[in-house]
Every structure is written in structure tokens, then in C-alpha cells.
């Protein structure tokens, strides 16, 4: 079985709450059981600083969800978590290369474009789970969290 685990945070790379702990533990446990699990996460500055040996595996323009126009170009990077779980990073600097945290700016205020940012993450997750995926690997299950 192939599982794409989609999340907005994962320990130890980026943690704002319990989701990060679950996003680290559950995929690692599935991997240990022989499941071909991979994680999809936005490419935040904190994540890029913590990882090395990332490779570009896809470049694409995500089709904008209804009601949104002009979503920026993105690419998919591949690395791995310390647990060995393969990690896809949605690299879209316009949406994710910011100070502050994943959901809030440096003043503790919600990013005004959170719906677009996590809409892009959701759209890419759906693309990776579809027949139109740019990857050789295609999940049987897309497991989504929060956004």
C-alpha cells in the first residue's frame, strides 16, 4: 500500500502543536510496518534550514482552485525525515518562504492568505493522488490533516 500523508507541520522540523507529533509518529510507524508512506509538507524556511540533499522531482503550475486566480508556480522537492520517511516539500516561495510560523506572522496574526496557501497544498496533494501526477510514485491513499 502507498500512502501520501499531507500535513502543515511535522516534528522535529516544525512544530506548533500536536499535529506535528502525529505527523512524525504515524508515518514512521506505517513505514515500520512495511507501508510505502511519504509525507507532503509546505517548504517553510525552518524546514529548508534543517534538511540537506534535497532534489527537485517536479516543476508545475498548480491549477487554481475555484475562486482563486494566479496561484504562483511551484516545485516539489524530495528529502527525508530523520525517521527515514520520504518527504515531499511543496516549494512555493511566494506562499511559504516567510518569517513567523506556519499560520501566523511574526506578530502572532494569521497570514491573510492562509486559505490560498493551504488551498495550494491541498490542490497539489490531490494532483499527486490523481492520474495526472508528475511523479512515478502514486499513492493508493491520500491522508489529509487540518487544512
Which tens digits make up the pLDDT trace of 38-85?
999 999 999 999 998 899 999 876 555 454 456 677 899 999 999 999
CA dihedral 13, 125, 118, 15 (to 10 degrees): -20
The whole-number pLDDT of residue 61 equals 65
The residue among 137, 138, 140, 5 whose CA lies nearest residue 83 is 5
The whole-number pLDDT of residue 64 equals 53
Rg (CA), the chain: 14
State yes or no: pLDDT of 123 exceeds 70: yes
The whole-number pLDDT of residue 135 equals 93
| Mean pLDDT of the chain, nearest integer | 90
Task: Write out the E strands in the chain.
Answer: 2-6, 36-42, 55-60, 74-80, 86-91, 141-144
**At which residue does the C-alpha cell 532534489 appear?**
55
Domains of the chain (ranges; CATH) run: 2-144 (3.40.50.2000)
The pLDDT of 1-19, averaged and rounded, is: 94
The pLDDT of 113-126, averaged and rounded, is: 91
pTM for this prediction: 0.90
Amino acid at each position: 500500500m502507498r500512502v501520501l500523508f499531507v500535513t502543515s507541520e511535522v516534528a522535529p522540523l516544525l512544530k506548533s502543536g500536536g499535529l506535528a507529533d502525529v505527523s512524525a509518529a504515524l508515518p514512521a510507524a506505517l513505514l515500520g510496518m512495511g507501508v510505502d508512506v511519504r509525507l507532503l509538507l509546505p517548504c517553510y524556511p525552518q524546514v529548508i534550514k534543517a534538511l540537506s540533499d534535497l532534489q527537485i522531482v517536479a516543476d508545475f503550475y498548480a491549477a487554481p482552485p475555484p475562486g482563486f486566480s494566479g496561484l504562483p508556480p511551484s516545485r516539489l522537492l524530495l528529502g527525508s525525515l530523520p525517521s527515514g520517511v520520504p518527504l515531499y516539500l511543496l516549494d512555493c516561495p511566494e506562499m511559504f518562504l516567510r518569517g513567523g510560523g506556519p499560520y501566523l506572522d511574526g506578530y502572532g496574526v494569521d497570514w491573510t492568505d492562509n486559505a490560498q496557501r493551504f488551498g495550494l497544498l491541498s490542490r497539489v496533494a490531490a494532483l499527486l493522488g490523481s492520474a495526472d501526477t508528475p511523479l512515478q510514485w502514486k499513492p493508493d491513499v491520500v491522508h489529509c490533516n487540518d487544512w
